[in-house]
């Protein structure tokens, strides 16, 4: 139990109320911690105070947690913004620490990205969102580029919940991984792909949660709202300085299919940008392997079978074959 349990939900209900899980691996010694930390012995028991806000957190504290196999602490949910600010301030130092395993650094990046993206989404501004995605995308390419860990080995430590920020981060990671597997090694190009992947589902933020997480069949009107999210994301981002057409197409075309059966405008073949074709493959992969409000994650063999079927005319066959081959070799 050396690493944070990656399949935690964003918040946990306890006898004390809703608490935010915090990966111990994200904590560094500080002279004055800006949020309170708790231990939770059991969800039906009150949390135990570990370190009060404004008190120091020492290296000895962290060593004791590590020695005891304690991966996760908690803070109150109303202190979430303080923790997110702490992560943003310390991310460079956390990721640069070569003593930390690459996969743990990746967990740190995902934790921070969820906070940064969530904050940008709550601000509902394209400029703030693009800035957050650019920062996260740069770190992602650096980490995947210098790590000796195969990208899909990170699957086991990634969060796989249904939160939009988690999905966008995962898809971005997979886009970069697949691009590298296909021979893209230019960091500037990979950063463009990473940022486009982080933005691909931006239009979903305008969808009411009762539609997005509905557990019963959608009405025609609700389905129209869902299928309108690529257009909504494109409209929000087009004209944004620093964003290229290729990235906008990841947002606009990631649900298009080569045979014209996709949406929003039923593009076919080469009318679909290759960035969007890349995104389409891994978007389906992550959607099927994540827990949703209305279903459990699919079995990996079922995911592979589904992608193989779609490669017969709907998804780019070379990209699907490359991705599936990597999945199979990684999971042996």
The CATH classification of domain 101-330, taken from the options 1.10.3720.10, 1.10.3210.10, 3.20.20.150, 3.40.50.12280: 1.10.3210.10
Sequence-ordered list of residues with C-beta below 8 angstroms from that of 39, at least 6 positions apart, any chain: 47, 48, 50, 70, 73, 74
d(CA 327, CA 329): 6
pLDDT band at 6 (very low <50, low <70, confident <90, very high): very low
pLDDT band at 206 (very low <50, low <70, confident <90, very high): confident
Q: Do the beta carbons of residue 208 and residue 147 sit within 8 Å? A: no
Coil, strand or helix at 85? helix
Chain segment 102-122, per-residue pLDDT in tens: 777 888 888 778 777 777 776
Please give, one letter per residue, the 3-state secondary structure of 187-223.
Answer: HHHHHHHHHHHHHCCHHHHHCCHHHHCCCCCCCHHHH
Q: What percent of the chain has pLDDT over 90?
A: 49
Q: Where do the H-state alpha helices sit in the chain?
A: 59-67, 80-96, 102-123, 126-146, 164-181, 187-199, 209-212, 220-227, 229-237, 245-253, 274-289, 300-310, 317-330
Domain segments of the chain as ranges: 1-80, 101-330
pLDDT band at 332 (very low <50, low <70, confident <90, very high): low
pLDDT band at 227 (very low <50, low <70, confident <90, very high): very high
132 vs 259, which has greater pLDDT? 259
pLDDT at 46 over 70: yes
Cis-peptide, bond into residue 77, ω within 30° of zero: no
pTM: 0.82
- Report, as an integer, the average pLDDT of 176-187: 95
Sequence-ordered list of residues with C-beta below 8 angstroms from that of 274, at least 6 positions apart, any chain: 316
d(CA 282, CA 194): 12
Token digits of residue 44: 């039906």
pLDDT of 303:
95
CA distances 73 to 5, 69, 83, 191, 229, Å, are 11, 12, 12, 32, 36
pLDDT of 266:
96
pLDDT at 14 over 70: no
pLDDT band at 55 (very low <50, low <70, confident <90, very high): very high
């Amino acid at each position: 139990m050396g690493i944070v349990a990656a399949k935690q939900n964003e918040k946990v209900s306890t006898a004390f109320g809703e608490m935010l899980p915090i990966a111990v691996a994200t904590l560094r010694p500080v002279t004055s911690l800006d949020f309170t930390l708790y231990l939770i012995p059991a969800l039906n028991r009150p949390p135990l105070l570990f370190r009060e806000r404004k008190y120091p957190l020492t290296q000895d504290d962290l060593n004791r947690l590590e020695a005891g196999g304690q991966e996760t602490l908690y803070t109150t949910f109303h202190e979430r913004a303080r923790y997110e600010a702490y992560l943003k301030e310390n991310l460079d130092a956390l990721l640069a620490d070569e003593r930390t395993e690459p996969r743990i650094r990746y967990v740190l990046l995902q934790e921070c990205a969820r906070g940064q993206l969530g904050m940008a989404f709550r601000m509902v501004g394209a400029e703030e969102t693009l800035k957050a995605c650019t920062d996260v995308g740069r770190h992602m390419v650096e980490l995947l580029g210098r790590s000796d860990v195969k990208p899909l080995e990170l699957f086991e430590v990634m969060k796989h919940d249904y939160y939009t920020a988690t999905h966008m981060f995962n898809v971005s990671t997979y886009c970069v991984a697949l691009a590298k597997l296909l021979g893209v090694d230019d960091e500037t190009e990979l950063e463009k792909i990473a940022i486009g992947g982080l933005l691909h589902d931006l239009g979903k933020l305008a969808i009411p949660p009762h539609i997005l997480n509905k557990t019963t069949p959608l009405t025609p009107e609700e389905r129209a709202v869902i299928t309108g999210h690529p257009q909504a994301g494109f409209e929000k981002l087009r004209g944004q300085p620093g964003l290229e057409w290729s990235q906008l197409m990841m947002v606009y075309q990631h649900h298009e299919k080569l045979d014209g059966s996709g949406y929003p405008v039923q593009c076919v073949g080469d009318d679909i940008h290759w960035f969007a074709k890349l995104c389409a493959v891994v978007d389906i992969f992550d959607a099927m392997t994540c827990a949703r409000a209305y279903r459990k994650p699919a079995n990996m063999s079922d995911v592979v079978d589904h992608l193989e079927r779609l490669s017969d005319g709907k998804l780019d066959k070379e990209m699907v074959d490359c991705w599936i081959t990597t999945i199979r070799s990684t999971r042996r």
